[in-house]
Amino acid sequence: MQSAPFLRVLRRLALPRWLARGRLGGVGGAGADAGTLTDDDGDAAVVALMAGPDCAAVRLERRAGSARLHLTQAGNGGPEQLRLWKAAGWFDNAQVVLVLGSEERHFLTLDRPELPPEELALAARYPLAEALETEPELLLATATPMPLTNDALRPQMLAVAAHLGPVRAQLAQLSAAGIRVRHIDIADTALRGMVMLQGQPEEGCVALAFVGADICIGLIWQHQFCALRALALPPRTPRDEAEFEEQLALHIQRTADHFERQATRLAVRSVLASMPSLGDEARRTVLSALPLPARTFELDSALAVDAAAGRACQGNNNLTALVGVAAARLLEPLAQQAAARAQAQDEAAREAQLAGGFEPLGLTSTGLQPTGAGGTAGLSPAALSQTTIEQAAYGSRGAGDFADTEQGPAARSDGADMELERRP
């Protein structure tokens, strides 16, 4: 990286760390290969934590000269643990991110208005407030554009909201412990972090993760969300393990099929699953039932894990999800690069199409997935681009972002056909 000497000078001058690493350099800089860390990338650390009655925190570090991220701290416990973690230096020189669980965040997929990205949040605030039946002023809202995965659909965005009161309470709790937070994310971002750690942004990947008592399933492409759903995990009792695993596999399979069917511009070729609370046997059973090649997200293989942190994360859904969120924050430049590259490829393909004057052959921008007319056969564009506020009815906490082309919204709202019980 050509700017490395300049960055070193900045660091020697003791400029703010964020200036030296976050803005001027980072993972996958201009000269770095996408998906890899270089020796020139500076030190950085992210602490992702959940607050409330049950607190959890992980510290993930990027060290100069190391190609892997380092999981140095992980732990969970009551609110009293926050002060102990603070005293132990977990939050020193780190970007602290408050992660909202599935109980505190809400998301919708909306048609993206023709606005600059910085104005999407304002555009999403009022639809979110209307869907949540609250005042816009009482919401924290943001929106992120989603890659276009189907030519028949209009560009969409993922709108995320959280009620202001609970978030303020959590920030007050952290502030009382001496922890200053200036970043808030949602646990679903763990899916992006997991996929980023695996690389291969050109291929679509169905990622799923257990977060608390919920399962988050998303389609990730170019390190961006293309679809996101969440559903409560069924209780173990009185059902037996076999029935639970069967229903869980069926739900994942249907969702993956749904994603694959709707994404006509990319190839969905794998499933990445993080199910720490499941036993090895149950995990293998669930993954073997999926139609796509599935693999398990393992911390040891994706990160350099300290022994104590690894033991803390073992079998813990929240801590594993927090690792994914922290990884997404640290690897965000990779996502930006992938998005820029995809945009450039889209523009090149569009120019080639205009210059040739022939019908598109169905090749995607990445040239990986042939997309014939079968991808959208029998579907009207209107049906494909239905406003997904209606899809919020899919689950109590989730929303699909693809029109259900087979059963329609009415049938789609009947998520109970998967026999996955929703908690109240």
Partner 1 sequence: MIELFDAARLTVKRDHTLAVAGGTLLVTAGVMAAYAAFLQLQLSSTHTRTQQLQAQVASLDGPARAGARPAPASPRAALVADLQRQADTLEHEAAQASQNHGPEVPDMAPTASQWMAHLGALTQPDTTLQKVDIERNGSARLEGLATSAQALSALVQAWERQEGLSHLLPRSINIKQEKLPAPYLRFQLRATPAPAPATLSATLSAVAAATPAAAPPSSAADNQP
Contact segment (CB under 8 A) with partner 1 among 37-45, 154-162, 207-215, 295-303 equals 154-162
Q: Is 260 in the site for partner 1 (CB under 8 A)?
A: no
Name the nearest CA neighbour of 266 among 296, 230, 227, 209: 227
Rg (CA), the chain: 21
Name the nearest CA neighbour of 402 among 265, 269, 272: 265
Contact 155, 179 (CB under 8 A): no
Using the minimum distance from each CB to partner 1, give the nearer residue, 136 or 199.
Answer: 136
Using the minimum distance from each CB to partner 1, give the nearer residue, 58 or 286.
Answer: 58
Please provide residue 17's backbone torsions phi and psi, each rounded to the nearest 5 degrees: -65, -35
The beta strand positions in 275-335, using DSSP E, are 294-296, 304-305
Q: How far apart are CA 227 and CA 412, in angstroms?
A: 15
Q: Is 8 in the site for partner 1 (CB under 8 A)?
A: no
User: Which listed residue (265, 283, 329, 412) binds partner 1 by CB under 8 A?
Assistant: 329
Q: Is 194 in the site for partner 1 (CB under 8 A)?
A: no
Q: Is 160 in the site for partner 1 (CB under 8 A)?
A: yes
Q: Is 186 in the site for partner 1 (CB under 8 A)?
A: yes
The beta strand positions in 164-288, using DSSP E, are 183-186, 204-211, 214-221, 224-232, 268-274
* Min dist. Cβ of residue 329 to partner 1 (A): 8
Burial-class residue 87 by CB neighbours within 10 Å (0-12, 13-18, 19+). exposed
Contact segment (CB under 8 A) with partner 1 among 33-41, 77-85, 160-168, 266-274 equals 160-168
Q: Is 332 in the site for partner 1 (CB under 8 A)?
A: yes
* Min dist. Cβ of residue 115 to partner 1 (A): 17
Tell me what percent of the chain is helix, strand and coil, each rounded to the nearest 5.
40, 25, 40
Contact segment (CB under 8 A) with partner 1 among 73-81, 139-147, 246-254, 285-293 equals 139-147
* Min dist. Cβ of residue 44 to partner 1 (A): 15
Q: Is 167 in the site for partner 1 (CB under 8 A)?
A: yes
Using alpha carbons, list the distances in angstroms from residue 281 to 254, 305, 318, 324.
Answer: 22, 24, 21, 23
Question: What binding mask, one character per residue, do residues 80-99 give for partner 1 by CB under 8 A, x or -?
Answer: ------------------x-
Contact segment (CB under 8 A) with partner 1 among 137-145, 283-291, 299-307, 411-419 equals 137-145
Q: Which residues bind partner 1 (CB under 8 A)?
A: 98, 100, 105, 140-142, 144, 158, 160-162, 164, 167-168, 171, 181-186, 189, 328-329, 332, 335
